Amino acid sequence: MKKLVPILLLVALGVAACGGGSSAVIATVDGTDITVDDVESLIEPEGSLIPKEDFAQFLGFEVQWEIINAAASEQFDIEFTEEEVEAEADRIYDTADVDVTREEFVASQGVTEEFLLNFARQGLLDVAVREALSGELAPPSQEAIDAEMQTAVVSLTQVCVSHILVETEAEAQSAMDRLAAGEDFGALASELSSDPGSADNDGILPCSSAGQYVPEFRDASLVAPIGEVHQTLVETQFGFHVMLVTDRTDPAEDELPTEDEIVDTLKARSVVAELETWFLMQMTAANVTVDEEYGVWQTTPQPGVIPPTG
């Protein structure tokens, strides 16, 4: 069963909070208080104590939620009713497709109903903020559309390639000279190639999408003549390749995405990037303080609360 959040194993050392609860303020977000009770209400402890690592992780969630809820409301006027949040929580439970009650499902995740409702609210916010940001983005350029189409063509083009991989250009040229003199490609690959995956198979690589190869090898596989040794040596991060393309199958027209589909893909990609940028901007702009007894707030490399040491 996939968990909503990773729950760390209970350890003997480092217990940060007890299950009794407290209204003590342990963090503030732009003037809004977060208490011990707020955090403990999210966690279904495995015992009577909550490890400090778990507590810091959930305190980090609480801080992030407070920031995002306020920003979405202020900037985009995004709000949800309790009925909408409850419906989303039901959807999450139904999607889990487990043969247990919702209460048992939530407990199995190491969290509480309160956490599930907060988690559901964030899912709704994610969709709503994406929609708000997408309306502010310029449509993709024709150049971007053409580049994406070319990427699709490459990824759907199947190539069958044999190669001889050597360390230096001089070695590669020597192999080319021997091939020109009539020696067998497979025999030379077995003798000279440093690629263990293909040297024992006469240099033959499995037929695959051209897009699976590193850029230099990919590009060469798309233009090399079929059935003849490619007369241009191919240099990659692995060394120098003597290449022989034995077959190449271009994608059929109906296999390629339409321009509308590409536009949708590019828009979705732009929205994801814009959402990530917006999220990090909110995290870094917020005024967050955390009681050092419970950890330290950080925004890089990932927003969250680092548990206290010792």
**For domain 158-249, which CATH number applies: 3.40.640.10, 2.40.30.170, 3.40.50.300, 3.10.50.40?**
3.10.50.40
Task: Give the whole-angstrom CA distance, residue 128 versus residue 158.
Answer: 40
Task: Give the whole-angstrom CA distance, residue 275 versus residue 152.
Answer: 25
Residue ranges of domains in the chain: 15-137+267-306, 158-249
Does 146 have pLDDT greater than 90?
yes
Q: In this predicted model, what pLDDT tens digit does every residue of 57-92 receive, in sequence order?
A: 999 999 999 999 999 999 999 999 999 999 999 999
Does 185 have pLDDT greater than 60?
yes
The rounded mean pLDDT for the chain is 91
Q: In this structure, which amino acid lies at residue 54?
A: D
CB 123 within 8 A of CB 88: yes
Helix ranges (H only) for the chain are 36-40, 52-76, 82-96, 102-108, 113-134, 142-156, 169-180, 185-192, 196-199, 215-223, 259-285
- What percent of the chain shows pLDDT beyond 70? 92
Does 141 have pLDDT greater than 60?
yes
Q: Does domain 15-137+267-306 have CATH number 1.20.120?
A: no
Q: How far is CA 243 from the centre of its chain?
A: 34
Helix (H, G, I), strand (E, B) or coil at 259: helix
- The DSSP secondary-structure symbol of 28 reads E
To the question of pTM greater than 0.75 for the whole model, the response is no
Helix (H, G, I), strand (E, B) or coil at 210: helix
CB 238 within 8 A of CB 165: yes
Q: What is the pLDDT of residue 16?
A: 39
Task: Give the whole-angstrom CA distance, residue 52 versus residue 26.
Answer: 13
- What percent of the chain shows pLDDT beyond 90? 86
Task: Give the whole-angstrom CA distance, residue 198 versus residue 195.
Answer: 6
Mean pLDDT across 33-54: 87
Q: What is the pLDDT of residue 45?
A: 74
Helix (H, G, I), strand (E, B) or coil at 30: coil
